[in-house]
Structure 1
Amino acid sequence: MPELQDVEANLPPTLVAEIAECGFYPSLVAESVAMGLAGREPLDFLVQHEATFAGHELHRHMTVLVRTAAQLIIVHIDEGEGARDEALATVETVALRSIDSVVVTRAMREPERRAGLNEAWLTIVWGAARRVDLGPAACEDPNCEADHGYTGVIQPDDITVRMSPQADGDNARRLVAFGSRLQGAIG
């Protein structure tokens, strides 16, 4: 494996600083980003560090999105479960031409005055994953007891990143800006 300083030398200093600021396995995250870039020049990036609770356990996750001239690199690091001292590092490369949709959603406080951002979501769809929501089908007859099978919806579910100023500070605004630039990059 390359030394951390070698990895960091190939990444923008602002990206290295944001990764380090999160304090979540910074050398693993930086190495994974460098691996995904494979020498390509990063043009834009977004870093999200998220903590979730499952019962009494804290689980940390980190997602780094990096745009190059032709690809979107997605790095996701998950903390190991339970008492295991491990992390799962996933690197995915998506061609920008493969991206079907980039959706930026903002929840605005006092929308008439645009008083501030409460929350923001960035959803990127390229067709790698789909979510199926199924439920029993029914007819209009309230007395009908026939089995009408199932009805459902198949929705794209590739990646959604959610941030709020309360939890993520200025990164919520950065998410909106990154999403807008990505929308422009895919045409």
Structure 2
Amino acid sequence: MTPSDHRDRAARLQAGRPALPPALAAEIESCGYFPEVVIDAAALACGVEEVLDHLIHHEATFEMDEIHRHLTVILRTPTRLIICHTDDRTENGQLQAITSSESIPFGRVSSVVLTRVIAHPESFGHAVQPAGSTVETWLQIAWGAVSRIDLAPADCGDPTCEADHGYTGNLSGDDITIRMSPAADGSDQVARLVAFATRLQQVATGGDR
């Protein structure tokens, strides 16, 4: 099926709903992973709202001796952050796609964290060899749906004390994490992640939406 066929079928599926931006639809199609299903799920979640920004992450997942694929589409509208997930499974010998979407009002987004791992940081930004470069990047978004507790044995500060002081820990939000690297995803996709995360940080902290 050609890209134009995909677009025609997606347009029929979206009848009565605003079409997704062409660049977003084209990027979904380029993944080649149930594009009609993914486009329909994204359009359904957006409703009548305009898509202002987006990020797509296509990755392989492993379950026992099987390899599956997972597609995450993050959309920003004027009022919400929308996260769509699409997976596949085989049920009774029949291939199935599972798609879900979550809508988060911007008022609930509590944290947007962009982390970059830099190799050769001493030469970052300079035309030398080896040049400093980003080897891994991840985006973490929290809105209170999932929390993670990191526990460690507590102590009183006395190195000779052998008493049991229980545990201490940190409670942190960890609703979604998107990890990318130039080796696995390509430098262009990593750059898109950084740009999207930067814009989202500005929005989440009360900047221009």
How has the CA–CA distance of structure 1 residues 135 and 86 changed in structure 2, closer, same or farther, with 3 Å as cutoff? farther
Q: Which runs of 5+ in 2 are unaligned?
A: 1-8, 126-131
CA distance in 1, matches of 2:105, 2:145: 12
Aligned match of 2:147: 130
Aligned match of 2:138: 121
Q: Residue 75 of structure 2: which of 61, 66, 80 is its match?
A: 66
Alignment of 1:177 with 2:195, yes or no, is yes
Indicate the percent of aligned positions where both proteins have the same amino acid.
45
How has the CA–CA distance of structure 1 residues 184 and 138 changed in structure 2, closer, same or farther, with 3 Å as cutoff? closer
Compute the displacement of 1:141 (Å): 7.0
CA distance in 1, matches of 2:36, 2:160: 61
Structure with more relative contact order (C-alpha pairs < 8 Å, separation 6 or more): 1
1:55-102 Cα shifts (integer Å, max 9, x gaps): 421121110001011111100112226755222211001111211111
Residue type of the alignment partner of 1:128: A
Residue type of the alignment partner of 1:72: L
Aligned residue runs from structure 1 range 37-56, under 5 A: 37-56=46-65
Query: Equivalent residue of 1:108, what SS?
Result: strand
Query: Equivalent residue of 1:80, what SS?
Result: strand
Aligned match of 2:33: 24
Aligned residue runs from structure 1 range 142-181, under 5 A: 144=162, 148-169=165-186, 170-181=188-199
Residue type of the alignment partner of 2:190: A
Aligned match of 1:95: 105
How has the CA–CA distance of structure 1 residues 150 and 113 changed in structure 2, closer, same or farther, with 3 Å as cutoff? closer
CA distance in 2, matches of 1:113, 1:149: 43
Larger Rg: 2
Aligned match of 1:10: 19
Aligned residues: 184
Residue type of the alignment partner of 1:5: A
Aligned match of 1:79: 88
Compute the displacement of 1:51 (Å): 0.4
CA distance in 2, matches of 1:166, 1:24: 21
Bigger mean CA deviation after superposition, 109-118 or 153-162: 109-118
Query: Equivalent residue of 2:33, what SS?
Result: coil
Give the alignment's Cα RMSD to 1 decimal.
Answer: 2.3
Compute the displacement of 1:136 (Å): 5.5
